[in-house]
């Protein structure tokens, strides 16, 4: 399949370790944030979301942390698996409960066996 991005920041982790992917968002008015996973040749796949009235939300093996003071979002993946290898994008909505998503530039996660 095609590469989603050839010059993205890359995080390389050992299988079984925890991964932390960081994102700085741009608009202090944004009130909704999403993490997407994109595998080569596929469209983005929803992982987890969080609203601005929360600072932490947990899913299955994933946790999203939101720090509005410094406009920072992070995605934590527990016990990283080879199937987690992909490009990860954070997205924000720009505020006013807007549907229009603004994506970050992405981070490539490589899981070493």
Partner 1 sequence: GAGVSQSPRYKVAKRGQDVALRCDPISGHVSLFWYQQALGQGPEFLTYFQNEAQLDKSGLPSDRFFAERPEGSVSTLKIQRTQQEDSAVYLCASSLSPGTVGLEQYFGPGTRLTVT
Give CA–CA dist 60/77, Å, rounded.
Answer: 9
Dihedral sign for Cα atoms in the order 107, 91, 65, 15: negative
Write down the least CB distance from residue 7 to partner 1, Å.
Answer: 5
**DSSP code of residue 83:** G
Q: Which of 12, 18, 26, 45 binds partner 1 (CB under 8 A)?
A: 45
Residue 89's nearest CA partner among 42, 47, 26 is 47
Instruction: Pick from 24, 59, 105, 112 the residue near partner 1 by CB under 8 A.
Output: 105
Judged by beta carbon, residue 6 or residue 70, the one nearer partner 1 is 6
Q: Which stretch binds partner 1 (CB under 8 A): 14-22, 56-64, 72-80, 103-111?
A: 103-111
| Residue 40 interacts with partner 1 (CB under 8 A): yes or no | no
How far is residue 81's CA from residue 97's CA, in Å, rounded to a whole number? 34
Instruction: List contacts with partner 1 (CB under 8 A).
Output: 2-8, 31-32, 36, 41-46, 49, 51, 89, 91, 93, 97-106
């Amino acid at each position: 399949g095609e590469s989603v991005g050839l010059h993205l920041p890359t995080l390389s982790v050992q299988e079984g370790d925890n991964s932390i992917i960081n994102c700085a968002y741009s608009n202090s008015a944004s009130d909704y944030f999403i993490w997407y996973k994109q595998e080569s040749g596929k469209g983005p796949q929803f992982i987890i979301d969080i609203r601005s009235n929360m600072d932490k939300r947990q899913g299955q093996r994933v946790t999203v942390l939101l720090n509005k003071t410094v406009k920072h979002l992070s995605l934590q993946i527990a016990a990283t698996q080879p199937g987690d290898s992909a490009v990860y994008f954070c997205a924000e909505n720009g505020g006013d409960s807007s549907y229009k998503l603004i994506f970050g530039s992405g981070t490539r996660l490589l899981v070493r066996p």
